[in-house]
Homo-oligomer: A and B are copies of this chain.
């Protein structure tokens, strides 16, 4: 199966990594809109416009499925993308909600969703979690974690200070949804901050489990062939991909 993975930039490589390592596909085309990244601080109409342009981009590749790796794009554009396409399109939000359901024992356990401002404002995670019967859902925009990760800061004193800034008044959750592709890079530090009783939900791992079920995908012997495209500076994307995916 030949699939596309779309992200606003390089963050989606954390989702690609999970998809690639799961050995479910023959060919994966990754496209990052690096010229216009980040989406998480932009308005709904702009995000939708950019996502529709990405859909056009994928047309020539005749992919059989499209994964929207970016949480902000998934939050605002998934429905519109589906209306404009004749292939299955999956976002990371449904997958993240499914993974959270599996990770928690009761509907009264505390869930904390952390994401960009745009993703949080869309209320998509919150609505879906409440629809599933969860009663204690808190959502927090922690947008500074995006440039912090892009700066290459994954631990240390400054990150501690950023976590304190955001989480000082937050009660320790039973599940923490990392609802932005950049946040898996902070898993260790976030895990240490909240302690071992907090389950961390990772979009990449969540979408792999989700697709296995929804699309009845099975393990393949061979690794997928990867192609990388970007709206600017594709070499920089490829370099990062090589490191992150151990290519």
Q: Which residues of A contact B (CB under 8 A)?
A: 34-37, 41-43, 45-46, 50, 143-144, 146-148, 150-151, 157-158, 161-162, 164-165, 232-233, 236
Contact = CB atoms under 8 A, between A and B. Distances in A.
A233 B42 contact: yes
A46 B236 CA distance: 13
A41 B182 CA distance: 16
A87 to B, nearest CB: 27
Contacts of A232: 42-43, 45-46
Contacts of A233: 42-43, 45-46
A84 B182 CA distance: 39
Copies per complex of this chain: 2
Q: Report the 5 A-B pairs with minimum CB-CB distance, sorted nearest first.
A: A161-B161, A46-B232, A158-B165, A43-B233, A147-B147
29 contacts: A34-B42, A35-B36, A35-B42, A35-B46, A35-B50, A36-B36, A41-B147, A41-B150, A42-B232, A42-B233, A43-B232, A43-B236, A45-B233, A46-B232, A46-B233, A143-B147, A143-B151, A144-B144, A144-B148, A144-B151, A146-B147, A157-B161, A157-B164, A157-B165, A158-B161, A158-B162, A158-B164, A158-B165, A161-B161
Nearest to A37: B41
A196 to B, nearest CB: 26
A150 B157 CA distance: 22
Contacts of A42: 34-35, 232-233
A36 B39 CA distance: 9
A232 B49 CA distance: 10
A148 B148 CA distance: 10
Nearest to A9: B41
A13 B166 CA distance: 27
A116 to B, nearest CB: 11
Contacts of A164: 157-158
Contacts of A165: 157-158
Nearest to A236: B43
